[in-house]
């Protein structure tokens, strides 16, 4: 038997008691920091972006409006439909370092003899009891009572500590692989920049001279009833872009034929490039194949259809994923709380267009790097995904106990 099995057999052979989360933790909600954000403040503002990016995207404040303390467990309470941040957790690693933004919950253990903070983190992170509130259509806003009302198994402390040790080993390995992938992506970005920096004497073309640039107009929002869970016409939203520069059609919702037929200019086909224009600006995807079903866009996505035979769609895609385009978006975006890329802003873009031969050379180089860094079927991304699935399997297995009966 493993050490964990030995501990369970010794300490809780008849099962484990399930307890309401509200009996284990104190709940605290964050407060808005919008007016107090500064470029390099003393405190990191913990918001959903910070938690969803594992702390790599930060905002700062000189005011600690809602102080946080080591071993507080923080949870995202609000997310877009089918998003990846809802109920995602972060465990505070130091005192006097963070301040809590609104719509993030802080959970503090009432009795440290009852629950290990890391054990609680593992069992609460993306907990299925909370994910069930995401209906796939509306933005989800978890309430305090929904969070503290869930039940979790609370085994003896030695069992919790052994589970933490096992799961920590999985996460450490994944972190090492992720760090290596990050290094490769930096190398990829360097070579991408190098390729575009060294385009010499290429003609500069206006984007509207080489491609159709369109976003949906005429209707901005669908009613809940118009987001169909099954159907024959895909609707792509900003949440359907995958990390490999494509579209995850498995996450798409559907619309009626009438909605699909409303605008032929935003019906999506092979080699079309898609760019998000609201919220997370400038996410880019290219359709490598014709979609399996007729496909259209919601109002948050641009369609770029290249009609110039002297321009490769894949060359344009790589340009859109370069720092040149990122800097351009920053220069033309509108809005502060919710940034927005307008049609007027996007069509002001000028693009260097070398010969077809040079475009093919650049595409070949960057495709190989792109595959190495982003293709989930091979290389590091595939290994990371496999490790993540392995971790999720063992996490569910380790955190499932026979319930103790009276």
Tell me which CATH homologous superfamily contains domain 17-154: DNA methylase specificity domains (3.90.220.20)
In the block, tokens 């869970």 appear at 229
In whole angstroms, how large is the CA radius of gyration of the chain? 24
Of the candidates 90, 91, 60, 74, the residue with the CA atom closest to the CA atom of residue 142: 74
Assess whether the region 17-154 and the region 203-353 belong to the same CATH fold.
yes
Quick check: helix, strand or coil at residue 267? coil
Cβ-based neighbour number of residue 112 at 10 Å: 10
pLDDT digits over 163-206, tens only?
Answer: 999 999 888 888 888 888 888 888 888 888 888 998 988 999 99
Distance (Å, whole) CA 307 – CA 208: 10
Question: Domain 203-353, what architecture?
Answer: Alpha-Beta Complex (3.90)
Q: Where are the alpha helices (DSSP H) in 216-333?
A: 257-261, 313-320, 323-332
pLDDT of residue 1: 44
pLDDT digits over 220-236, tens only?
Answer: 566 777 888 899 999 99
Distance (Å, whole) CA 255 – CA 191: 41
Using an 8 Å Cβ cutoff, are 41 and 62 in contact? yes
Using an 8 Å Cβ cutoff, are 402 and 188 in contact? no
C-alpha 205, offset from chain centre: 33
Spans of the chain, pLDDT less than 50: 1
Cβ-based neighbour number of residue 124 at 10 Å: 24
pLDDT of residue 395: 84
Please state the domain extents for the chain.
Answer: 1-15+155-191+355-406, 17-154, 203-353
In the block, tokens 């290219």 appear at 286
């Amino acid at each position: 038997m493993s050490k964990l099995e030995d501990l369970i057999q010794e300490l809780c052979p008849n099962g484990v008691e399930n307890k309401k989360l509200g009996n284990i933790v104190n709940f605290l909600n964050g407060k808005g920091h919008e007016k107090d954000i500064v470029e390099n403040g003393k405190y990191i503002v913990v918001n959903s972006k910070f938690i969803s990016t594992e702390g790599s995207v930060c905002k700062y404040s000189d005011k600690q409006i809602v102080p946080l303390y080591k071993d507080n467990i923080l949870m995202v309470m609000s997310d877009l439909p089918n998003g990846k941040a809802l109920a995602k957790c972060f465990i505070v690693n130091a005192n006097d370092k963070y301040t809590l933004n609104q719509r993030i919950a802080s959970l503090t253990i009432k009795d440290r003899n009852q629950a290990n903070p890391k054990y609680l983190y593992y069992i609460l992170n993306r907990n299925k009891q909370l994910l069930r509130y995401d209906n796939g259509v509306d933005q989800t806003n978890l309430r305090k009572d929904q969070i503290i009302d869930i039940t979790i198994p609370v085994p003896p402390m030695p069992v919790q500590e052994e589970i933490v040790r096992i799961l920590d080993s999985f996460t450490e390995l994944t972190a090492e692989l992720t760090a290596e992938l990050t290094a490769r992506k930096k190398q990829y970005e360097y070579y991408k920049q190098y390729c575009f920096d060294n385009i010499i004497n290429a003609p500069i073309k206006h984007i509207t001279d080489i491609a159709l640039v369109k976003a949906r107009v005429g209707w901005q929002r669908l009613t809940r009833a118009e987001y169909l869970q099954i159907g024959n016409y895909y609707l792509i939203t900003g949440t359907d872009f995958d990390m490999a520069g494509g579209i995850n059609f498995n996450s798409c919702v559907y619309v009626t034929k009438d909605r699909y037929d409303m605008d032929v200019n935003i019906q999506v086909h092979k080699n079309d490039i898609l760019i998000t224009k609201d919220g997370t600006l400038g996410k880019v995807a290219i359709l490598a194949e014709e979609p399996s079903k007729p496909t259209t866009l919601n109002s948050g996505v641009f369609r770029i259809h290249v009609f110039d035979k002297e321009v490769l769609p894949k060359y344009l895609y790589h340009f859109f994923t370069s720092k040149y385009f990122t800097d351009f978006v920053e220069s033309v975006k509108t809005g502060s709380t919710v940034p927005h890329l307008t049609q007027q802003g996007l069509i002001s873009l000028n693009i260097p267009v070398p010969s077809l031969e040079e475009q093919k050379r650049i595409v070949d180089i960057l495709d190989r790097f792109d595959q190495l860094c982003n293709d989930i079927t091979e290389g590091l991304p595939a290994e990371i995904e496999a490790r993540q699935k392995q971790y999720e399997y063992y996490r569910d297995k380790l955190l499932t106990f026979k319930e103790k009966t009276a």
